[in-house]
Amino acid sequence: MRSWKVWLMSALSVGFLALLGFGLTRDTQVLPSAIIGEEAPTFDLQTLDGDSLKLSSLRGKVVVLNFWASWCIPCREEHPVLEMAASHYRGTDMRLLGVVYQDNRQNAKGFLSENGGSWPSVLDPGSRVAIDYGVYGVPETFFLDRTGHIALKHVGPVPWEIFSSTVDSLLATPAPGDAATTSDAPATSDALDSSENGR
Amino acid sequence: MTGRRPSARPARPLPVAVLLAGAALAVWGPAHPVVAQDSTMVGVASTAAADTTGGLSGAALDDQTAKVAAQLRCPVCRGQSVLESTATLSKEIQAEIRQRLAQGQSPDSVKAYFVSRYGEWILLKPPAHGFGLLVYLFPIAILLGGLGVSVWFVRSRRAREPADVVHDTGPANEGAWSEGEGDVPGADLSEDERSWLEGALRDR
């Protein structure tokens, strides 16, 4: 009689503590993303120079989408990593593309002339593309594989180690057209593995 | 004294059942108006769809935008709904909701769009499936557990205390020394005790 009550109470307490432990050890600042592994939403936006840029025109390349703003302090911190990436991956299939978030052309251009940066950035009026990507702050960086799927999302300034390891593994994955003879499945699982490591 | 107990026992399951039903209603009640609200939303959308280009317009669009916005979490401030929040992103999300509704999308599909981008986290009310179900089941479990513990507690107390002691400590008898009641306090005192007590009360 007494022993089953003791067992029940301890089982309930352990369960409750496990739930509390799970809840309290999670990083509440990092939100789960719903679009990892999904096809990246397409867009057709104007660059800071006024040209039109379609995401679909970069299909087959490894695209790194970086949401940023001139008013964003962590973006300033992140900028040297992006510059390093731009020069390190020059001549490869990596394409770095900035998406200006809640900012205007003048301020964005001012930021780039002050801090450097030769890669294109597009303007996102009304943050429609940012919402399409589930962005909730800047900087956020999305790594797209050659098939246009989102392999990894990084919230906050992206460290060079994560940037390089992710892009290296995505570049090592052949585009589906080139690799018609080899199976597609290991390619995608490779990309996902690297995103796991990157986290 | 002892005659009261058997009559009290069979009556007990009823209050417990009423309590349980009340608890269940309290927990599940709030969920129903929302379901009803959703169906009226669809109703509004379909009637408005008839007059213009397939989407909402005017006051119906304002209403519907506000209703959907009230159910979405602001991704920046997190504790507020998109409707309450003054964050730029919330305003932009509201504009997105409005545009989608104006294009003729149903409120449910607009919500589904935001869930597909931000995850179920974006819904202020957690979905009643998977891990979110815990939020709905936990209050019931705790209520039932608490009820079980209190029933067990009362029973074990009653079983431990002798019947006459219950009457001496009962709050109804406190300070009441009225004549004509069946259970006069002190009725079970011995002659010696009674005279000592009366003497003590007189000398006071």
Residue A49 has pLDDT above 60, yes or no: yes
Tens digit of each residue's pLDDT (9 = 90 or more) over B134-148: 889 989 999 999 999
What is the mean pLDDT of the segment spanning A150-178?
Answer: 90
Confidence of residue A189 (pLDDT cuts 50, 70, 90): very low
Give the pLDDT score at B182: 54
Residue A62 has pLDDT above 50, yes or no: yes
ipTM surpassing 0.90, yes or no?
Answer: no
- Output the CA–CA distances (angstroms, integers) from residue B89 to A6, A103, B42, B80, in the order listed: 52, 12, 26, 12
Residue A74 has pLDDT above 80, yes or no: yes
Report the mean per-residue pLDDT for chain B.
74
Confidence of residue A184 (pLDDT cuts 50, 70, 90): very low
Tens digit of each residue's pLDDT (9 = 90 or more) over A93-113: 999 999 999 999 999 999 999
Tell me the domains of chain A and their CATH numbers. Answer: 36-198 (3.40.30.10)
For Cα atoms B196, B197, B199, give the angle at the middle one, nearest 5 degrees.
65
Give the pLDDT score at B65: 95
Residue A6 has pLDDT above 60, yes or no: yes
Judged by CB atoms closer than 8 Å, whether chains meet at B116 and A35 is answered as yes
Contact A132, A39 (CB under 8 A): no
Half-sphere exposure of A94 (CA within 13 A, CB side): 27
pTM exceeding the 0.80 threshold for the entire prediction: no
Contact A112, A1 (CB under 8 A): no
Helical pair B58-71 and B31-51, crossing angle rounded to 10 deg? 150
- Output the CA–CA distances (angstroms, integers) from residue A138 to A65, B75, B122, B140, B191, in the order listed: 12, 12, 18, 41, 90
Structural domain boundaries of chain B? 33-125
Q: Is the CB of residue A33 less than 8 Å away from at least one CB of chain B? A: yes
The yes or no reply on domain B33-125 and CATH 1.10.8.640 is yes
**Better pLDDT: A78 or B33:** A78
The token pair that represents B82 in the structure block: 């998109």
Q: Closest to A131 (Cβ–Cβ): which among B93, B120, B145? A: B93
Judged by CB atoms closer than 8 Å, whether chains meet at B117 and A35 is answered as yes
Assign 3-class secondary structure to chain B: CCCHHHHHHHHCHHHHHHHHHHHHHHHHCCHHHHHHHHHHHHHHHHHHHHHCCCCCCHHHHHHHHHHHHHHEECCCCCCCECCCCCCHHHHHHHHHHHHHHHCCCCHHHHHHHHHHHHCHHHECCCCCCHHHHHHHHHHHHHHHHHHHHHHHHHHHHHHHCCHHHHHHHCHHHCCCCCCCCCCCCCCCCCHHHHHHHHHHHHHC
User: By CA distance, what is B118's nearest residue in A?
Assistant: A134
What is the mean pLDDT of the segment spanning B32-50?
Answer: 38
Q: To the nearest whole percent, how much of chain A has pLDDT over 90?
A: 71
Q: How far apart are the first and last CA of chain A?
A: 50
One-letter identity of residue A30: V
The alpha-carbon gap from B192 to the nearest alpha carbon of chain A, in Å, equals 44
